[in-house]
Structure 1
Amino acid sequence: MDLGIKGRVALVSGADSGMGKETARLLLEAGCRVAITDKGDNTIGEAVKELSTLGEVIAVAADVQKPDEVKKLWQEVREKLGDPDIYVNAAGVTGATGDFLEVDDAGWQETLDINLMGAVRMCREAIPAMRSKGWGRIVLFASEDAVQPYVDELAYCASKAGILSLAKGLSKAYGCDNVLVNTVSPAFIATPMTDKMMEKRAEEKGTSFDEAIDSFLKEERPGMVLGRRGRPEEVASVAAFLCSERASFITGAGVRVDAGSVLTIPA
């Protein structure tokens, strides 16, 4: 399917691995010129080397917690590729976990600062040029946790619920300028983040990595009727579609890519 975005400029955060990198891959295959960003370490360099065979792609390291780095990131992307027409916010962390009464303010603040305020800072940079051009696509990664909170991940759940509200509000504020804002909500995808979760679970339970995944699915995610972790590309394909001209009548929407994990329909 031709996504109708050949020649568009896209910026994807959290793109050194997992769903962000796979979204960048699909946007490159669709003919976009792509900038990827993540924290400054070797993984982003490895990602851009891997993706460079598909088209024009650059890497710019930045920490979304730091407003100065966010501004420098966007300035560099504008200088090298032009103003992004597409922004995909895949940057995020599990953050502070555990019993609610034992998670301190610092744990909450860091989780919210990366997952929610990081998206706020990046969207603040993205929207003005999209408005002036009369065309823009923003996709924010939320989570099943946003509508189905888990008691040991409440900071993460709250941050992702904030993402849903942020996206809906932005869609209302800037839809008249043809800036379309939507969310994708994955559940238990095979990424470095969930790998770490399962490694920790395997150690705690004295089981293998695969056994940890199986027990997690049965005990913690019974609604995932496919009985497996999702693949990053299964989420990325939805994100890429929402970035496309094919999604020109979709804004303020949230798409769950969760194998049925969320057990209810929207209220």
Structure 2
Amino acid sequence: MNLQIEGKTAVLTGADSGIGKETAKILAQEGAKIVLSDIDAEALDEAANEIRQFTNSDTDVRTIVADLTKIKEVNQFAEKVKTINGGAHILVHGAGARGAAGDFLKLSDEDWQKTIDIDLMGAVRVARAFIPHMQEKGWGRLIFISSENALQPYEDESPYNACKAAIVNLSKCLSRAYSKDGLLINCVSPAYIETPMTNAMMEQLAEERGTSVDEAVDWFLKNERPHIEVQRRGQPIEVASVIAFLCSGLSSFVNGSNYRVDGGSVETAFG
């Protein structure tokens, strides 16, 4: 399929693994110039090499280390993209963390602030830095990665729930503000995808229960995510395929939407 993005610059945050890396592979294969960002330089280089091998070509893949909790680094990140590739046409914002978790009454202001700074304000800073690139070009695609937690919150993850719900709202807000400039802004909400973040969760659960990780996954599916009707963890490529469509020229009438890629995890039909 021709996604109509050949030669366009795609910037992906949180892209040294998981969903971001798989999305970059698809976009690279379609001829986009790729800029990967995260906080681990070594992991970014490994991801870039994997993308080049995947496309079996001299694909233009750059890496930029940036801490999205620091406005100065975000602005420098955007300026580097402008200098290297003339600015971004596409931004996929996937950087984030589970953050503080546990009993709501035991979570401190600091716990909340740390999670908000990464999961919500990181998105705000990146959007603010890169939207002007797209405005100048008169064409843009901005995709935020939210979560099932935005629509179906879990009681031990209140800061993460709130931030991911805010991301969906932010996406809708910006889609209304900047569509006149040629930007289409959407959101994707995955559930229980096999990524480093959920791997860490399962390793912790296995330790707590005194079981193997595979047994922890089975227990979690049965007891914590019973509405994942496909009865398995999702794979990053399954989310990346939806994101890639939203990055494409084929998504020209999709704006302000939230796509759930959750195997049925969210119970309601209308969230």
Determine if the TM-score, normalized by the shorter chain, exceeds 0.5.
Answer: yes
The residue aligned with 2:216 is: 212
2:183 paired residue among 179, 186, 191? 179
Structure 2 partner of 1:3: 3
TM-score with structure 1 length normalisation? Answer: 0.98
Task: Determine if the alignment matches structure 1 residue 168 to structure 2 residue 172.
Answer: yes
Q: 1:228 aligns with which of 232, 237, 259?
A: 232
Counterpart-to-counterpart distance in 2, 1:116 and 1:189: 20
**Secondary structure, counterpart of 2:120 in structure 1:** helix
Partner SS for 1:111 = helix
CA deviations 1:140-175 (Å, max 9, x no partner) are 000000010000001000000000000000000001
Q: Deviations over 1:15-50 (max 9, x none)?
A: 000001111111101110010000134211211121
Aligned residue type for 2:11:
L
Measure, in 1, the Cα distance between the counterparts of 2:31 and 2:232. Answer: 32
SS at match of 1:132: helix
Give the corresponding residue for 2:22: 22
- Unmatched runs of 5 consecutive residues or more in structure 2: none
**Structure 1 residue aligned with 2:206:** 202
Aligned residue for 1:36? 36
How far apart in 2 are the matches of 1:260 and 1:181? 24
| Deviation larger for 230-239 or 48-57 | 48-57
Instruction: Report the residue type matching 1:3 in the other structure.
Output: L
CA offsets, 1:108-134, max 9 Å, x none? 111111111101100001111211221
Q: Counterparts of 1:246-257 in structure 2 under 5 Å?
A: 246-257=250-261
State the SS of the aligned residue for 1:172: helix
Aligned partners of 1:52 and 1:62: how far apart in 2?
A: 22
- 2:76 is matched with 72
CA distance in 1, matches of 2:40, 2:70: 13
| Counterpart residue number, 2:131 | 127
CA distance in 2, matches of 1:132, 1:205: 54
Q: Give the whole-Å Cα distance in 2 for the aligned partners of 1:146 and 1:200.
A: 23
Q: Once the two structures are aligned, what percentage of the paired residues are identical?
A: 50
Q: How many residues align?
A: 267
Find the aligned partners of 1:23 and 1:95 in 2 and give their Cα distance.
24
Gapped runs of 5+ residues in structure 1? none
What TM-score comes out, normalization by structure 2 length?
0.97
